[in-house]
Structure 1
């Protein structure tokens, strides 16, 4: 018998971040499924710019869980972590002899969901 769990997922979203979605996705792959404390440690010591923004979003999701749902930060687990592409800012770089080269500055939207760990018994 397959019963659905009524576990809550509390989420936080960071929108229009000036990061490449590919680079942010590499970091999200590292923390997906980890506990809140483990993910904070991983993000703290990774040398990438995206870690700062992802850590802020994770802190926000954990605070939402603590304040709105009464959950403890120590027991939280990252359920979902994904990135979507945002609008690309288009700029031009002047070059020699009156030419212009296009520059594309990507943005992204990061979504993190946290919740209590599920203990499945078979």
Structure 2
């Protein structure tokens, strides 16, 4: 899959978040294709506190990256989340003891998040 990159595209990524991708995608689907300020407001009042805090920090970082790349005179009002992907990261494998000397495997999953900003 070839990825198209333009000079105006600004992105931010976060790797190794200690939350499962399935839980992260619930919030990612909530803020996909939203304006950046609306997305931050949604995350502020979301019920999933831990995940929404991670996404909020990532969006603020994305906004900071955009400000560094573009001059301040451009309007932030027309910025929106063009693309957001949550992929599976490394999985830690642990054993939990169960009766009769056996052990069941526990998988502690992690996520990789990529957010791309676009202008309307």
The residue number in structure 2 matching 1:62 is: 63
CA distance in 2, matches of 1:51, 1:105: 20
With 78-87 and 92-101 compared, the bigger mean Cα shift is at 92-101
Distance in 2 of aligned mates of 1:66 and 1:115? 13
Report how far residue 99 of structure 1 moved: 1.6
Find the aligned partners of 2:58 and 2:8 in 1 and give their Cα distance: 18
Alignment partner, residue 36 of structure 1: 36
Paired residue total: 112
Aligned counterparts of 1:31 and 1:7: Cα–Cα separation in 2: 24
Check the 8 A contact 1:16/1:109 in 2, yes or no.
Answer: yes
Partner of 1:3: none
Q: Does 1:77 align with 2:90?
A: no
Structure 1 residues 42-100: Cα deviation after superposition (integer angstroms, max 9, x where no partner) = 11111112111111111111110012222544332111011111111101111223221
Output the CA distance in 2 between the equivalents of 1:18 and 1:32. 21
Q: Distance in 2 between matches of 1:50 and 1:32?
A: 15
Separation (CA, whole Å) in 1 of partners of 2:77 and 2:86:
25
Q: Which runs of 4+ in 1 moved over 4 A?
A: none
1:7 Cα offset (Å): 7.2
Q: 1:60 to 1:72 in 2, by over 3 A?
A: farther
The answer on whether the counterparts of 1:62 and 1:76 sit within 8 Å (CA) in structure 2 is no
Bigger fraction of residues in strand: 2
